[in-house]
Structure 1
């Protein structure tokens, strides 16, 4: 199994004094079940894994019949699954718990009993579709798990030492030596194409087989499209239209979603249900316009103006360049070589969005349209970070993503001029080595996971 940050969060949960169950939720195929079982194997004497996509009707009925007889229930689980459960030393995993909601509701009583620990896993789209008839237990906490970020990708590629060097460089403000910068940049380009879906990384890592990674990604995309039809309900048509339009929208200079280009004659309100579904499915990262940037970015959010990024950049590269699967496109080779003629802006910006989302940031951007040129600007991302020049008090940090080595920072200059009292450290993410200019840090793209 690949090293995942979710494992560390599970360790913190296990070591806490609070008595709760942990629900691992997220998009399909991001590794939720794998990390839960690996955690069980390593951190407990024994574990019981109940996969509710595989158990039969008799198992479910027996589970229901024994809810008032916990001694009998645990004996039954031990016998049916062939495991020995030891009090305070065993873990019970309810895998794909959305397929049997009564088990999730019963977590309240199982946690109160206190004999064992409990982890649940589930996909968000079907979790939220199957809770209307149950009481969500307050004894349940949750964590979202997504595709692998760049740091996890480097771990999978055996580059642990390089990860430590990148973090040290970010913290110390001293750029990596040129040789390591070139190596990290090459691996970042690989990541933009392979992405962070565990199946794709597993196919790619042993021999850097891009064709195998592409096959794995196409299978995931097929599954996601099937889920839209299965769970999308009345919004399925618009969800599918937005999903398929993402590469085309991101390829444009103006990356905001234009509704009429997705569906002729449509308006923003026509897509609100579709966006809500896509947020639950966790297959996209929606970046919302903040009309009046402040520490409470959500307070001025306009949910009708969004940029729609794929949750995994590797899936985006396959959608954009290799959807038919007949052969690997030449653009892959050009991206890997860092060819000057390739416009990597779509992939770079999507990959940065993926890093920020993985780090726990809600995604916001700022844009100002005006007939006056001096007032027009667009900032790719806004996050809140401690500002060293303000005694580490939080400030808005604007982020610009630049895929080419030649660029301007006019929008950043205008943003600071307009929102000086709210603005902290600015970031330019670009292909060059790290540098600092006054209140602006210029970071190589591969350092975006550090923010």
Structure 2
């Protein structure tokens, strides 16, 4: 498999401003593999320390802040070689080791010659705690599930990936590419981007094993819920998690606490929901009241939608069978477009600095799926699950905010086309969305 995050990590290695790296991402997204692969490719050797397997290593960080002594102790205890500038030092499963995280400050200030990368399955939770943290002394990098592009490469469809990656115009895509890409996207909706699931499909074509892999990952997440410091929150986290398919199945996908449990109130469940957000297991998308800059200034904090970290996990949690593989476009229309919205959001989050929002009004009801900020432009985005693309909400949005709109975007199963200020992007091109939007905005200047 090829993970594109390796390119970002190489830039980190070569930067003269490099600090110790903290790699964040959900459990089983491939953080350990990618760090070891990065060390194998770009360093003379790798020194790997797992603080879950070897808890005794934690003591080296508890007794001293002298990084030279820490490194010497690690070398002696593990027998591994550490050479400044030539060794990648990996600290894994550091979420329960505040002293290890805090030591990054001293590595940054006193020993920048050591190349250090930290990872952990619930690191987002640990970093959200108000504890001693090396502010400004670490580089952060987010690692998400495999993108559709990465799936294509893993599936042996390098030619399709190269075609998508080299598109420079907004001309319709020939059927010789369009039809196979639609079929590959259906596969991706089924497998998602968790590396184990992708491998079992792309290498073994084993649907049952792939289903079991996703089931096991969901079970592992459920076990992690019990790690909330307040035991009373555990069932609440589980109830919110299991309500996500129901939340997304409704026409209006605004999160409702009563879907979690009849009579549930926000103040009873908001801590549990925040735990899921901090763990990167769900993405919280606020309603925007107007298309202004910065987007965050117009958040309606009482209204939001939540999506899952991976479209394959959403499909598995929703109990949608992989037999939809061979059922035309049914997979896209099943579930009222929830899978497509989740997939598009995953892709946009990888490309944007600012988390997307959404826009809606009640009387009469309209909802634009996402509002995105690209530099100083605010762009409304709708996601249609098939080729039926009447975009009522985008029209209403333009009526209401026309003077603030240079481009509107619709994802669907229709071909690539720029029609005045409306850009239609085929769903399988989501990973190229921002590049295509830039081309469209230049044409419309």
Same fold (TM over 0.5): yes
Quote the Cα distance in structure 1 between the aligned partners of 2:403 and 2:166.
30
> Is 1:343 equivalent to 2:334 in the alignment?
yes
Post-superposition shift, 1:369?
A: 0.6
8 A contact 1:432–1:443 mirrored in 2: yes
Q: Does 1:227 align with 2:224?
A: yes
Q: Deviations over 1:150-185 (max 9, x none)?
A: 12212221223312212333x311222101101111
Asked whether 1:209 is paired with 2:206, we answer: yes
Indicate if the aligned counterparts of 1:98 and 1:130 stay in contact, CA closer than 8 A. no
1:267 Cα deviation from its structure 2 partner: 3.0
Check if 1:86 corresponds to 2:77: no
Structure 1 209/175 Cα, relative in aligned 2: closer, same or farther at 3 Å? farther
3-state SS in 2 of match to 1:427: strand
Contact 1:25–1:142 (CA under 8 A) maintained in structure 2: yes
In structure 2, relative to structure 1, the CA distance for the partners of 1:342 and 1:19 (3 Å cut) is: closer
Structure 1: gaps (5+ residues): 323-327, 387-393
Q: Which moved more, 1:148-157 or 1:436-445?
A: 148-157
Distance in 2 between residues matched to 1:62 and 1:406, nearest whole Å: 61
- Computed over aligned residues only, the root mean square deviation of the Cα atoms, in angstroms, reads 2.2
Q: Which residue of 1 aligns with 2:437?
A: none
CA distance in 2, matches of 1:130, 1:287: 19
CA separation of 1:135/1:408 partners in 2, compared to 1, >3 Å: closer, same or farther? closer
Tell me, in whole angstroms, the C-alpha distance in 1 between the residues paired with 2:153 and 2:128: 36
Deviation readout 1:99-129 (Å, 9 max, x if unpaired): 3221221122223223321111123456527
1:153–1:421 CA distance, 2 compared to 1 (3 A): same
C-alpha distance after superposition, 1:80-110 (max 9, x if no partner) = 3333222221121111112322122112222
Pick closer, same or farther for the CA change 1:76–1:333 going to 2, 3 Å: same
Secondary structure of 2:262 counterpart: coil
Equivalent residues in 2 for 1:168-179, closer than 5 Å? 168-169=166-167, 171-179=168-176
Aligned to 1:362: 355
Partner of 1:325: none
Change in Cα spacing, 1:130 to 1:166, as seen in structure 2 (3 Å) is closer
Q: In the alignment, does 2:92 pair up with 1:110?
A: no
Following the alignment from structure 1 to structure 2, what is the Cα–Cα distance between the partners of residues 158 and 79? 44
Q: Distance in 1 between matches of 2:370 and 2:274?
A: 21
Alpha-carbon separation, structure 1, partners of 2:34 and 2:234? 31
Q: Is 2:370 the partner of 1:378?
A: no
Q: What TM-score comes out, normalization by structure 1 length?
A: 0.89
Residue equivalent to 2:32: 33
- DSSP-derived class of the 2:347 partner: helix
Unaligned runs of at least 5 residues, structure 2: 434-445
The number of aligned residues is 429
1:22 aligns with 2:14: no
TM-score when normalising by structure 2: 0.90
- Of 110, 119, 122, which residue of structure 1 is paired with 2:120? 122
Task: Describe the shift of the 1:132–1:298 C-alpha distance in structure 2 as closer, same or farther (beyond 3 A).
Answer: closer
Alpha-carbon distance in structure 2 between the residues aligned to 1:411 and 1:349:
15
Is residue 434 from structure 1 mapped to residue 409 from structure 2 by the alignment? Answer: no
Structure 2 CA distance for aligned equivalents of residues 232 and 403 of structure 1: 40
Task: Indicate conservation of the 8 Å contact 2:201/2:210, yes or no.
Answer: yes
Give the Cα–Cα distance (whole angstroms) in 2 for the partners of residues 69 and 256 of structure 1: 49
CA contact (8 A) 1:125 1:231 kept: no
Q: What residue number does 1:389 align with?
A: none
What is the SS of the residue equivalent to 1:420? helix
| Mean Cα deviation higher: 140-149 or 106-115 | 106-115
